[in-house]
Every structure is written in structure tokens, then in C-alpha cells.
Amino acid sequence: MNNIITFIYFIATISKVTGFDGIANLLPVETNNDTSIIEVAIEENKDYNESSDIVEEEPSVQEDIQIKEENILDDIDTNKPSRVIDPTKPMVALTYDDGPNATTTNKILDILEKNNAVATFFELGNLVERYPDVVKREEAIGCEVGNHSYAHKNLNTLSKAQIQADMQKSENAFLNAIGHKTKLFRPPYGNANATVRATIEYPLINWNIDTLDWKSRNADKVIAHIRSFQSLDGRIILMHSIYNSTVKATEIIVPELISKGYQLVTISELAYYRGFETLSNGVIYREFNP
Ligand SMILES: [Zn+2]
């Protein structure tokens, strides 16, 4: 019943904002995964609905209307990929750390967008402050944004209070840029000792394929490493969004993986469709195998 009321308010709000009664028919619902539009269409797809932020956050009707009023005109013009996932088919999660970078991260987003694909970006709070628009764009095209600390310190060397202070700064950066905290955290260098695990109130996402892109700075080596695995199903691949060589590798690897039948998914999608409907804080995850 609440959904019907929300829907009625939604239509009423569109009419109020646009002054056009028939606009609901023109919305690109099938191809748009932005929360403010998909909410109407998503009711039909229970599985996807359960895994999405939309339901978990459950804004009140009043808040909901305000969000729509702010975004509705932009949304009409954006053409975003639909997120239809077949849980029976192979899936792999590309992850990019250490951004956002105004040049290279945006180039990676261009490639993902062109291929109707998504990835997860573990971003640094201090750079999120500098380039909030890149992080907004990541979310806008269906990618997932994760927290990678504020300043990329080795958290194993910090006290509990120092870790908390770093996290506070980083969370504020994400709050200011995208309006919410991230669901996931990746510790710098993958380092998370007992103190870190007890302090960070997020699921910790590491990887089980390390392309060493930061070391080689060589697209061919990154591509060759990813190709060397017989199956990538359920795997989490580590790259960094701040190198031109990684942009080049992404340009080759994204369409290639898709042509091999892999679905490129976010970490939360991969976890959800592999049976992890909720992830536990302080636990390190490296893969979500079938
Ligand atoms: Zn890093």
C-alpha cells in the first residue's frame, strides 16, 4: 500500500515539477538504474529489489519526494545501463583503488559506460574531497563506491583512536560527496590486523587476483595476468584507477570478459548473488565463489 502511495506522490511530483501530465510514459525506466526513477519499475523484480540500497534506506515519503524534486529533471536525460543479473551465469568483480582521479578514473568510467558494465571503486577520502563529481558519476552509472581510508596509511601501524580519526574524516568526505557512507571498506595494502578488524565497522573487501598494475604500469602484463586464470567466476580483481596503463588494460579486458560470458558486477551484487545477503563488519572477504 505504501508503494502505491509513493507512486501516486511520485507522479504528482513529476506533474508539479514539469507541468506535464504524460511524462511518466516518457521516462526511460528500462534503461535507467538511478534510484529516483527505478523505484517505480523495480517493484516487479523482487530479487534485485532486496539487494539494492533503495529498500535498505527506506526514506520516508516526504524525503523521497524531496529527492525526486531535486533530481527529476537530470534523470530524464540520463541513459544508464540496466542492471539485469543472471545468478546462474559466471560473474566477476573488477575493483579499482586509490582514486578518484579526474582524468584516469573518468576514462575508466567512460569504458565501463560504453560497455554497459560496472565495477567497484575503493576511493580515498582526501581525493573524494577534491573530486566529488567523479565519485558521484561512479554511482550514477551503477558502479559501487567503497571507502579506502582517508589518507592511505597502513592501518596496522595505527592505534584504535588513530584508525577511528582517519575513518571519521573519510566518512565525512563520502557523506559530503554522495550523501551517504559507503557499505564497504578496503584497507590500504589489504592490511587489517586484529585491532583494525575490531575497529572498522564495515565488511572488509580484499581480493584474490592481484594484477600488480601499480608495479608494472604495463597494460599487456595486467591483461596477461587476468587471462592466465582458467575461471574468474566469483573472483575479485585488484587494479588501481590512477594509471594510464590500467586504463588501457581496462579498454581491452572489459569487452573481452563480457564476450567470454562474464557478467561484470559490483562487490555487493557478487556477494548477494552468491548467497551473502549481508556481509559482517570486521570480516575480510576475498572472493565469492559459486
Ligand atoms: Zn590502495
What are the domain boundaries of the chain?
2-77, 91-285
Q: Across residues 18-32, what is the average pLDDT?
A: 35
Give me ligand 1 centre to Cα 69, in Å.
37
pLDDT of residue 251: 98
Give me ligand 1 centre to Cα 270, in Å.
21
pLDDT of residue 7: 46
pLDDT of residue 229: 97
40 pLDDT higher than 70 = no
- Report the topology of domain 91-285: TIM Barrel (3.20.20)
Over the stretch 108-164, which tens digit does the pLDDT of each residue have? 999 999 999 999 999 999 999 999 999 999 999 999 999 999 999 999 999 999 999
pLDDT of residue 155: 98
Tell me how far apart the alpha carbons of residues 249 and 242 are, in angstroms, rounded to a whole number: 12
Give me ligand 1 centre to Cα 180, in Å.
21
Give me ligand 1 centre to Cα 113, in Å.
23
Q: Which residues contact 169 (CB under 8 A, 6 or more apart)?
A: 125, 150
Tell me how far apart the alpha carbons of residues 46 and 271 are, in angstroms, rounded to a whole number: 17
Q: Across residues 185-208, what is the average pLDDT?
A: 98
Please report which confidence band the pLDDT of residue 41 belongs to, taking 50, 70 and 90 as the band edges: very low
The DSSP bridge pattern shows strands 120-123 and 263-264 to be unpaired
27 pLDDT higher than 70 = no
Q: Across residues 75-93, what is the average pLDDT?
A: 70
Give me ligand 1 centre to Cα 120, in Å.
13
Q: Across residues 208-225, what is the average pLDDT?
A: 98
14 pLDDT higher than 70 = no
Q: Number of helices (H) and strands (E), helices first, in the chain? A: 14, 8
pLDDT over 70, % of the chain: 72
Give the residue numbers marked as catalytic.
97, 240
Residue for grid cell 571503486: 121
Please report which confidence band the pLDDT of residue 82 belongs to, taking 50, 70 and 90 as the band edges: low
104 pLDDT higher than 70 = yes
Tell which wins on pLDDT, 245 or 290: 245
The chain-wide mean pLDDT, for the chain, equals: 81
Give me ligand 1 centre to Cα 78, in Å.
31
**Backbone torsion region of residue 59, taken as left when φ is above 0, otherwise alpha when ψ lies between -120 and 50, otherwise beta:** beta
Amino acid at 57: E
Give me ligand 1 centre to Cα 188, in Å.
5
Over the stretch 46-59, which tens digit does the pLDDT of each residue have? 333 333 333 333 44
Give me ligand 1 centre to Cα 98, in Å.
5
Tell me how far apart the alpha carbons of residues 187 and 37 are, in angstroms, rounded to a whole number: 34
